[in-house]
Structure 1
Amino acid sequence: MIYFDNSATTAINKTVLDTYVKTSERIMGNPSSLHFLGTQASRLIQQARFQIAELLKVDEQEIFFTSGGTEGDNWVIKGTAIEKQSFGKHLIVSSIEHSAVSASAKQLEKLGFEIDFAPVDSRGFVDVEQLQALIRPDTILVSTMLVNNEIGSIQPIKAISDMLEAYPTIHYHIDAVQGLGKIPIHEWLTERVDFATFSSHKFHGPKGIGFIYWKQGRKLAALLNGGGQEKGKRSGTENVPGIVAMSRAVRLHLEDEDLKIQKQTRLRDYLIDSLKTFDKITLFSEANAEFAPHIVCFGIKGIKGEVLVHAFEEKDIIISTTSACSSRAHTAGSTLEAMNVPNDIAITAVRVSFSDQSTMMEVEKFLTTLKHLEQKFSKIN
């Protein structure tokens, strides 16, 4: 089987899985307990926190554990709204955000907050000038993703950060779920980024665990109350094996980061160049430094994306439509809609997404299969 749906989820690294299993077997204590078993578990959590912070070149006090990207996005969006509502009730999110961000914003809208969706250009990049034009005296948050999960466009974080220097009271959040190991994350966290969201299963870690970067000095209301874990900011008994395994996944994923990025870039560029030779292919991703190295989005005119996904599945090649969330809903991705791609073209879109384990041989087999499928569909049409 060829697995090209790594933007949806990655296979857990065997070493990471071994860490998860051994920690589950050996560390039985509740980290909040006073006895030595609790202390043992608590120490492992702090070691994991320190290791992740060191790898991202931030302070360990700025790492908070969550259950994944969705919780992290919900926490930052809603936590900012709760914490800062006395200063304003206006939030800005980009029009190409993951549903964890956009749905959170829409829920807040029902509670009396005002939401503006910053537009993107025809290539899928946030328009910084138009974003700035949306800022008001009562704006409390701007949220943009780092890497778009549908077409791979790397958002202009530095330009947005520079613009937001003039607005120091506004929280700036980035959804960095698709970025770790694909672009040097620590470079973006040195900009004017207050919060960033990460999810373990996107970088060969276990599902159900993640973390947020929370810049010191910024305030965020807790969403989960109870036992006071995570310095009272995120209550709930900690997922010790998940946290420990995730910290190892971060370390392993960032080993030889440059080489892994170069490898995936070569695969992306070769695939895109090859797709350009097909007659009925529409490309939504590009082969340049403005796009992530692991995502290629395209469509075959007249063929719905879900039909192509299942056709490849019959050949033991796993791809997806534009995102896992829109796949189940049978809808075109929000990114293509925001780019003003006509619906009859948008619904043809499929996404190929690599990992550092993907190979050129797999890409070659994918292209051979695509050629046969295109011929088959042409005869049917």
Structure 2
Amino acid sequence: MKYFDHAATTPPYEDVIRTVGEVMAQHFGNPSSLHRMGEDSGKLLSKAREVCAHALQVNPGEIVFTSGATESNNLAIRGAMARYRQRGNHIVTTTVEHASVYETCRHLEQQGCEVTYVPVQANGAVRVEDVLAAVTDNTVLVSVMHVNNEVGAVQPIAEIGRALKNRHPRVLFHVDGVQGFGKLPLSIQDSRIDLYSLSAHKFRGPKGTGLLYVREGVHLTQLLTGGGQEGGLRSGTENIPYIVGMTKAMRMAAERQPALASHWSKLSRELHEGLAGLPGLVVNSSPDGAPHIVHFSYPGIKAEAMLHMLEEEGFLVSTQSACSSKRSEPSRVLLAMQKGKDCSLSGIRISLGEEHTEEDVRQLLGAVKRTMERLQIVKGGNR
């Protein structure tokens, strides 16, 4: 089977698997304990924080370890709105955010917050001026993802951050960086980002581990109370083996990013060109988007049918995002891009990994073509 679903999760590096096992066996002390084993675990935790900070070019004290992007996004949004409620109760975000941002904002609306969902253009990207126009005197937070998890649209993060801070310096800027880190370069400092979320399993680290960058001077209300770990922002005993594993994966992803982006861009162009040449198929992603995500629809056929036929051909792809793929609903992202209901019910995401070759891409294109031919018979029989 050829795995083309790296945007959902990635296979951990062998070095990461080995490191997690070694740390779990040899350094199982609680980093809050005062004895030698606790101190050894505490040193590993401090070193991991330094390595993560170096990869992001920030200070170690600005790194908060979490269970993953969902917790990081919730801590950033809920924590900021609770901490700065005297400033207002308004959030600005987009119509195409990941569910961990979008649904959090929807829930906060039920609790009395005001949320503006900025629409996107046909390519899935927002316009900087539209984001800025949504900011009011009551705005506490702007939250915009770096790379869309479904179609790979890249948002103008640096331009939004700089313009936002020039006009509204007190408004916090949160970025969900889950699909961007290790794929595209982004300077947290130059982009004037206050809060930045990551999840380890998106860059070949272990599941259940992530981090939140919290700029020095920004304060959040904690979601979890208890022992006061992670500077009081995330109580609970730190998962040292997985944090160290994430750190190793993060360093490797940062080092390999330029070469991998070039490799993926070449494969992505071939996929876009091949898919665009298949009659009746609609390509929803752009060659100018994130290099590792290609997205298309086959209107009139439910996405699950094509997914399972491609699996029979030996290729694993996905529908929508992994968090939403089991729901038989139109894609919220494609609807926001004005793709229409038929396209939004038939979307297929291909996401690339380090192991993929040009031959893999050619074989996948052949499988898509054969699957379409089989489905044409089904479509014809349903008329």
Into which bin does the TM-score normalised by the smaller protein fall? over 0.9
Corresponding residue for 1:202?
202
The answer to whether the 8 Å contact 1:52/1:250 transfers is yes
Given residue 172 of structure 2, which amino acid in structure 1 is its aligned partner?
Answer: H
How do residues 112-123 of structure 1 correspond to structure 2 at under 5 angstroms? 112-123=112-123
2:374 maps to 1:373? no
Q: What's the offset of the Cα at 1:329?
A: 1.3
Q: Deviations over 1:226-268 (max 9, x none)?
A: 1010111111000000000000001112223211110011110
Q: How far apart, in 1, do the equivalents of 2:50 and 2:159 lie?
A: 30
Corresponding residue for 1:169?
170
Q: How far apart, in 2, do the equivalents of 1:281 and 1:354 lie?
A: 20
SS at match of 1:255: helix
2:336 maps to 1:335? no
Gaps of at least 5 residues in structure 2 are none
Q: How far apart, in 2, do the equivalents of 1:333 and 1:14 lie?
A: 35
Q: How far apart, in 2, do the equivalents of 1:160 and 1:201 lie?
A: 27
How do residues 15-26 of structure 1 correspond to structure 2 at under 5 angstroms? 15-26=15-26
- Provide the aligned length of Structure 1 versus Structure 2: 378
Corresponding residue for 1:324?
322
TM-score of the pair, normalised by structure 2: 0.97
Q: What's the offset of the Cα at 1:111?
A: 1.2
Q: How far apart, in 2, do the equivalents of 1:146 and 1:188 lie?
A: 11
The answer to whether the 8 Å contact 2:158/2:190 transfers is no
CA RMSD between the two structures: 1.1
Share of identical aligned residues, percent? 38
The answer to whether the 8 Å contact 2:143/2:174 transfers is yes
Q: Deviations over 1:96-130 (max 9, x none)?
A: 00010011111111111111111111111112222
Given residue 169 of structure 1, which amino acid in structure 2 is its aligned partner?
Answer: R
Corresponding residue for 1:128?
128
Corresponding residue for 1:77?
77
The answer to whether the 8 Å contact 1:90/1:113 transfers is yes
SS at match of 2:205: coil
Given residue 323 of structure 2, which amino acid in structure 1 is its aligned partner?
Answer: C
Corresponding residue for 2:255?
255
Given residue 178 of structure 1, which amino acid in structure 2 is its aligned partner?
Answer: Q
The answer to whether the 8 Å contact 1:326/1:332 transfers is no
Q: Which runs of 4+ in 1 moved over 6 A?
A: none
How do residues 99-114 of structure 1 correspond to structure 2 at under 5 angstroms? 99-114=99-114
The answer to whether the 8 Å contact 1:4/1:353 transfers is yes
Q: How far apart, in 2, do the equivalents of 1:115 and 1:48 lie?
A: 36
The answer to whether the 8 Å contact 1:146/1:155 transfers is yes
How do residues 1-381 of structure 1 correspond to structure 2 at under 5 angstroms? 1-165=1-165, 166-185=167-186, 187-288=187-288, 291-380=289-378, 381=380
The answer to whether the 8 Å contact 1:297/1:322 transfers is no
Instruction: Report which stretch shifted further, 359-368 or 135-144.
Output: 359-368
The answer to whether the 8 Å contact 2:75/2:223 transfers is yes
The answer to whether the 8 Å contact 1:323/1:333 transfers is no
Given residue 176 of structure 1, which amino acid in structure 2 is its aligned partner?
Answer: G
Given residue 274 of structure 2, which amino acid in structure 1 is its aligned partner?
Answer: S
Gaps of at least 5 residues in structure 1 are none
SS at match of 1:213: strand
Q: What's the offset of the Cα at 1:327?
A: 0.7
Q: How far apart, in 2, do the equivalents of 1:332 and 1:301 lie?
A: 12
Q: What's the offset of the Cα at 1:68?
A: 0.2
Q: What's the offset of the Cα at 1:189?
A: 4.0
Q: Deviations over 1:271-310 (max 9, x none)?
A: 001111111110101112xx10000000123211111111
The answer to whether the 8 Å contact 1:157/1:188 transfers is no
Q: What's the offset of the Cα at 1:188?
A: 4.3
Q: What's the offset of the Cα at 1:162?
A: 2.4
